[in-house]
């Protein structure tokens, strides 16, 4: 009996301190997120009550009319469309690059390619925006016209009434380039962690290099790649300045990728001068609230996918 206290009181001051600090920090982060959410909601509350358009289905967004008329349908469409197209382009390229860097080239060549890709991540988004609207956009106009001519009968590729390169199409491609480095880096890391034994198992069966990739590397890295894509999506959804510089404003909403429009982030940034009254600001904050929920959901989903993958392997 007398020994028991001794057993229990081994010195764990460090553990307790560290555990406490970690708890406080993580609790703090949750608190901050909550406070941001509450801030957004409280500011948007009054305008939302007064809104004379349907917040979820209207494509209008007018903060200055009395009462205000605003809805997120168009913003949601443009935001999701730019991000989805960007992701559809960036993910295959990133996976290809990650496979190239881990399975096909090694040594200096691999480091050189990886360096160039990482360099892309260091370019400020405002530069991407300028480059997108002034150089890249005009350069891809011919291909845009080609697609429009071929597939114009599908509304998604219809004539968007935007003559300039300031289209969803341009914005999506630039976004794809912007999210490419992070997706590539993360997928490369998971692919590189494919256990040597698994790879050799495939090789010993007489698998070619591509078959090794298919049997060992891709199944092993799949959940990691999905998580990386989700993180890239999170970035694309929230990207502001580049999208704002590229997208042209349009008078009427159009679903086409060759139309302009606004995303949640771009409309808020572009209309910052209108935040002169808390009430008008609140109208835009309501859009911010939806974006907040959206990116939060995407990130949470990425976590879940990554965790599930971990548990399995």
Partner 1 sequence: MSKRIEVRDLDVYYGKFHAVNQVNLTVQPRTVTAFIGPSGCGKSTVLRTLNRMHEVIPGAYCTGQVLLDGTDLYAPGVDPVAVRRIVGMVFQRPNPFPSMSIYDNVASGLKLNGERNKQVLDEAVETALKGANLWKEVKDRLDKAGMGLSGGQQQRLCIARAIAVKPEVLLMDEPCSALDPISTLAVEDLIHELKESYTVVIVTHNMQQAARVSDETAFFNLKAQGEPGHLVEIGPTEQIFHNPTQQATEDYITGRFG
Q: Which stretch binds partner 1 (CB under 8 A): 82-90, 155-163, 206-214, 276-284?
A: 206-214
Q: Is 152 in the site for partner 1 (CB under 8 A)?
A: no
Measured from the CB atom, is 174 or 306 closer to partner 1? 306
Q: At 61, phi and psi to the nearest 5?
A: -150, 90
CB of 194 to partner 1, least distance (A): 9
Residues 6+ apart with CB under 8 A from 5: none
Per-residue b/e over 30-50, b at no fewer than 16 CB within 10 Å?
eeeeeeeeeebeebbeebbee
Min. distance of Cβ 108 from partner 1 in angstroms? 13
Q: How far is the CB of 261 from partner 1 (least distance, A)?
A: 40
**Selected range binding partner 1 among 58-66, 200-208, 232-240, 286-294, rule: CB under 8 A:** 200-208
Q: Which is nearer to partner 1, 204 or 272 (CB)?
A: 204
| Rounded Cα distance, 238 and 233, in Å | 9
Q: Which phi and psi angles does 91 have, rounded to 5°?
A: -65, -50
* Shortest distance, position 115 Cβ to partner 1, whole Å: 21
Q: Which stretch binds partner 1 (CB under 8 A): 2-10, 46-54, 73-81, 205-213?
A: 205-213
Q: Is 88 in the site for partner 1 (CB under 8 A)?
A: no
List the one residue out of 294, 105, 93 whose CA is nearest residue 178: 93
Asked whether position 37 contacts partner 1 by CB under 8 A, the answer is no
Q: Contact with partner 1 (CB under 8 A): which of 17, 205, 293, 300?
A: 205
Contact, 209 vs 103, CB < 8 A? yes
Instruction: Rule CB under 8 A: say whether 81 interacts with partner 1.
Output: no
Residues numbered 95 to 114 that lie near partner 1 (CB under 8 A) are 106
> Which CB sits closer to partner 1, 176 or 199?
199
Is residue 225 close enough to count as binding partner 1 by CB under 8 A?
no
Is there a contact between 229 and 176 (Cβ–Cβ < 8 Å)?
Answer: no
Q: Are 237 and 294 in contact (CB under 8 A)?
A: yes
Structure tokens at 256: 């086409």
Q: How far is the CB of 310 from partner 1 (least distance, A)?
A: 11
Contacts of 170 (CB under 8 A, 6+ apart): 132, 133, 136, 137, 140, 144, 246
Q: How far is the CB of 231 from partner 1 (least distance, A)?
A: 21
Cβ at position 203, least distance to partner 1 in Å = 6
> Integer distance in angstroms from the first to the last C-alpha of the chain?
45
Binding of partner 1 by 311 (CB under 8 A): no
User: What Cα–Cα distance (Å) separates residue 255 from each residue in 59, 252, 294?
Assistant: 11, 10, 20
Give the footprint of partner 1 on this chain (CB under 8 A): 106, 195, 197-198, 200-208, 211, 215-216, 219-220, 222, 312-313
């Amino acid at each position: 009996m007398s020994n028991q206290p001794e057993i229990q009181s081994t010195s764990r001051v460090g553990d307790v301190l560290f555990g406490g600090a970690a708890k406080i920090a993580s609790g703090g982060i949750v608190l901050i997120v909550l406070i941001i959410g509450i801030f957004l909601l409280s500011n948007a509350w009054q305008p939302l009550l007064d809104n004379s358009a349907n917040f979820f289905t209207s494509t209008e967004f007018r903060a200055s009319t009395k009462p205000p008329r605003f809805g997120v349908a168009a913003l949601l469409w443009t935001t999701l469309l730019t991000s989805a197209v960007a992701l559809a382009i960036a993910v295959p390229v990133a996976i290809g690059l990650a496979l190239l860097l881990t399975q096909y080239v090694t040594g200096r060549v691999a480091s050189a390619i990886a360096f160039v890709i990482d360099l892309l991540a260091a370019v400020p988004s405002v530069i991407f925006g300028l480059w997108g609207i002034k150089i890249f956009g005009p350069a891809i106009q011919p291909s845009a016209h080609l697609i429009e001519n071929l597939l114009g009968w599908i509304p998604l590729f219809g004539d968007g009434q935007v003559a300039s390169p300031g289209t969803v199409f341009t914005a999506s491609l630039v976004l794809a380039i912007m999210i490419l480095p992070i997706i590539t880096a993360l997928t490369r890391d998971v692919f590189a962690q494919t256990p040597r034994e698994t790879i050799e198992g495939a090789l010993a069966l007489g698998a070619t290099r591509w078959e090794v990739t298919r049997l060992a590397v891709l199944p092993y890295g799949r959940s990691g790649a999905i998580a990386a894509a989700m993180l890239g999506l999170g970035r694309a959804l929230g990207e502001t300045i580049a999208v704002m510089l590229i997208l042209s404003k349009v008078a009427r909403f159009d679903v086409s990728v060759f139309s302009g429009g606004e995303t949640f982030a771009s409309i808020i940034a572009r209309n910052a001068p209108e935040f002169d009254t808390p009430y008008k600001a609140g109208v835009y904050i309501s859009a911010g609230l939806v974006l907040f929920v959206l990116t939060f959901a995407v990130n949470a989903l990425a976590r879940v996918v990554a965790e599930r993958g971990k548990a399995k392997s």
